[in-house]
Amino acid sequence: MLKLRVANLVEGKIYNVPAFIFFVIGGFVPSLVGIVLTYFYEGKEGCKNLLKSAINVKIGLQSITIILVYVLALCSLQIILYTLIGGSFDFSQFISQLPSIVPLIVLGPLSEEFGWRGFLQKRINIEFSTVSGSIIIGIVWSMWHLPLFFMIGTSQHDFNIPFVNFMISVICSSFIYSYLYIRSKGSLFAALLLHWIATYFLQVITSQVKRTFTFNYLEVIPSLLIASIIILLLLRMNSKQSKRNSVP
């Protein structure tokens, strides 16, 4: 157990400034590695295109709709599930925790997405199918977060989230990122926006949950249901693409 308490974003507290600085720097490794590897494989032009993709906010109504529908569907199902097993949810927390939304874009989307979607997604889509590639990214992405489950002050530790549940949820979410990546023509901004909004809403929900054996067992059902739908859409998309490529 890493007993040094770093910070609590929900409460807006930083308990140890030097430790928090190292925590933030360490969190940026995926994006830093993604940028370095992009430069290695694609040179300055590749890095320039990566940056442009991250700041180009014109992602289209379709991409925005995908993001909102996904987040609202997942969060609604989580809340419904929790209330069905006897839990109560304080919706005012969506307002109370708003101050944490600013640091969350740094400690999640910006620190990771240049690696996961900016570099890895592009390469994975070349070597693997979108479904297999999504699973691979999900496993790597979830394993990257494993140390947080042993760090006091992180949501993963303080909210007692089972790592297996977290891994399943992250793998499931990888499918929507792949679908959005294809639909938005590789837009990194779309991935950043999805990561930001989803992280905030899921943080609020997780902070309200009183974990029981039943909830821990059922928690992943909404993620699995939505992932099943996205997988079907990805397979349909792949089928259409194959038919186009087979046309002489």
Q: What is the mean pLDDT of residues 199-217?
A: 90
Give the model's confidence band at 1: pLDDT under 50 very low, under 70 low, under 90 confident, else very high. Answer: very low
Residue spans per domain, the chain: 8-246
**One-letter amino acid for residue 97 of the chain:** Q
Question: How many Å apart are CA 136 and CA 232, to the nearest integer?
Answer: 18
pLDDT band at 183 (very low <50, low <70, confident <90, very high): very high
Residues 66-81: what's their mean pLDDT?
96
pLDDT at 21: 77
Whole-prediction pTM value? Answer: 0.90
Using the 8-state DSSP alphabet, how is residue 2 labeled?
Answer: B
The pLDDT score that the predictor gives to residue 132 is: 95
Q: Are 186 and 122 in contact (CB under 8 A)?
A: yes
pLDDT at site 243 = 61
**Residue type at 52?**
K
φ/ψ of 151, rounded to 5, equals -110, 115
Of residues 237 and 57, more confidence is placed in 57
> Residue 246 above 60 pLDDT?
no
